[in-house]
Amino acid sequence: MSLDFQLIKPVGQLKELERYPLYEPFAYATIVQDEKTGDIMYYLEEITLDPVEQQVYKELVRIVMLELPPPEELTKMGDVKNYLLNELKKIVGRYRRLFRNVSPSSFAKFLYYMERDLLGYGPIDALMRDENIEDISCDGVGKPVYVFHRKYESIPTNIVPMTDQALDDLVVKLIHMSGRHVSVATPIVDAQLPDGSRIAVTYRREVSPGGSTFTIRKFRKNPLTFTELVRFGNISAEIAGYFWVMLDNGRSFLVLGVTGAGKTSFLNAMATFIRPHMKIITVEEVPEINLPHKNWVRLVTRQSYGAEKINEITLFDLVKATLRMRPDYLIVGEIRGEEAYVLFQAVNTGHSGISTMHAESFEAAVNRLMSPPMNIPPAYIPAMNIFVMIKRVKIGGRLTRRVTEVGEVYMDGDKIRFNTVFRWNPRTDTHDSYVEKSILVRQISDMTGKDVDEILREIDTRAKIVSWMVENGIFNFEDVSTYVQTYYTNPDKILNQVFGKVSDVESITQV
């Protein structure tokens, strides 16, 4: 299969922008730019097999497939690489005549390709190892695999499937690794890869005339933190401080944007602000949310194979079930159907809720919420206290993500309106604040008995804590979570450190 994918050599006047290892010494990524056109390309360099080695490798794989345990058992054996190496040596010993003309240096290559093709993701395995890549997609036979690179955005690679069979085989392999099935009878499949990445495929030419296709949205092992969002300019420290106070007081919010805008990343980063001992239940189709809280229940939908949808468990089923579990916070990964009605019922009956939804504006979101299949009554919508709009915007010729508006929802007679508390300024690439006009701050003041100015000072204090964390390079998910949790249990410890009495960062992160 993998040998039917070709690594095309770039042509033209190319300038190397960056080169870094993916799996030393076998695979490297080189980012090149055509000096004539300005086009950027992701060039995968992989150690190659000569024609003799290719033939030996094919035979070796055939033998190994017959003699080794199934992949799911292999992955339970600990150090898979050493296990494979030992088994390879044993096989070579048993079939010495077959391999007597092969040099010892070839076996390191064989081990790499065995690990790649038998246990990994085949010809795209090196791309899956690249933490700079967010998405990987292939649009058909003879077309280059594309990646979305964090630094260079959407760029083609030099990886090209040359035959229908090669691409079909890879799609089948990826879906089988996900524990699902794809065929001409069910040519469209959404699934989750073993590492948590989301994959959507079309199989053969049943629905995609250009051949099989796949799109992988890679799972980020270390979730984006709110300090990283501030560092990247996605949000300001004051926005983070605002959400910290809002979630501390049980407020709900809905994140809006198009596909790939960063809705789930924002949700996950803000959910870190929820108090550590609150009961949180997350409901998702594919598990993406990653929280530091111990009192956290994760629920995931279950799909059925038959047309009758027997034993299928939907988002609607799960969201209904959560209401009997008494969550303090109910987080739904994405709403788009009747589960939205149950979520809005929950936030209208005292629960706190967080979710995401596809929409290009606050007004479009309201229209979608009130229309089938969600059918949310207008009076229910303000209970989702805050709407957040995230967009992909162009800054300095490059696309990036920005929270463009944060608005508090309220009813004005029979109309739904928004009180803007933050708005992104495209001229300065900063976030203008109107938090002193916040309706929710006044609601919290009425509930807690605290003065409005006192709550505004608390937002400012927490914003300064966030800024201090950014300045001191505290971006790791566990470290960031520890700071938030410590602030709830021992605020003086954080305040003394941030405002100058303590200078040892490790005194917090090692709590």
Do residues 208 and 231 both lie within one domain?
no
Weakly modelled stretches of the chain, pLDDT under 70: 1-4, 69-81, 84-85, 92-93, 96, 304-310, 501-511
Radius of gyration of the chain, Cα coordinates, nearest whole angstrom: 26
Q: What is the DSSP letter of 369?
A: H
pLDDT of residue 510: 45
Same domain? For 124 and 266 the reply is: no
Task: Kindly state the helix (H) or strand (E) to which residue 85 belongs, with its residue range.
Answer: helix 80-94
Task: Tell me the three state secondary structure of residue 92.
Answer: helix
The verdict on residue 317 lying in a domain is: yes
Whether omega for the bond prior to residue 187 falls within 30 degrees of 0, making it cis, is no
Short-list 411, 405, 340, CA closest to 382: 411
**Residue 510, burial from CB neighbour count under 10 angstroms (0-12, 13-18, 19+):** exposed
In the numeric block, which tokens belong to residue 221? 């092992």
Confidence (pLDDT) at 77:
55
As given in the structure block, the two tokens for residue 280 are 């949180």
Q: In the structure, how many helices (H) and strands (E) does the chain have?
A: 17, 20
pLDDT value of residue 309: 61
Q: Are residues 57 and 102 in the same domain?
A: yes
Domain stops at, among 410, 439, 468: 439
Strands 213-217 and 27-34, by their bridges, are unpaired
> Long-range contacts made by residues 97-106, C-beta under 8 angstroms, separation at least 24?
98/56, 98/59, 99/56, 99/60, 101/52, 102/52, 102/53, 102/56, 106/49, 106/53, 106/56
483 within a domain of the structure (yes/no):
no
User: Is it true that the peptide bond before 161 is cis, omega within 30 degrees of 0?
Assistant: no
Q: What are the residues whose beta carbons fall under 8 Å from the beta carbon of 436, sequence distance 6 or more?
A: 456
Q: Are residues 270 and 414 in the same domain?
A: yes
Residues 486, 494 contacting (CB under 8 angstroms): yes
Number of domains in the chain: 2
Range of the domain at 157: 2-217
Same domain (yes/no): 237, 123: no
**One domain for residues 108 and 145:** yes
The token pair that represents 359 in the structure block: 């929409």
Q: Note whether residue 184 is domain-resident.
A: yes
pTM for this predicted structure: 0.84
Considering the domain architecture, whether residues 308 and 412 belong to the same structural domain is answered as yes
Count of residues making up the chain: 511
What DSSP string describes 409-424? EEEETTEEEEEEEEEE
Do both 261 and 188 map to the same domain?
Answer: no
Give yes or no: residues 330 and 359 share one domain.
Answer: yes
Whether residue 205 is found in the same domain as residue 299: no
Q: Residues 314, 339: contact at Cβ < 8 Å?
A: yes
Give the torsion through C-alpha atoms of 216, 217, 222, 226, to 10 deg: 170
| Residues paired with 355 in a beta bridge | 254, 332
User: Per-residue pLDDT tens for 150-195?
Assistant: 889 899 999 999 999 999 999 999 999 998 999 999 999 998 898 8
User: Do the domain assignments include residue 463?
Assistant: no
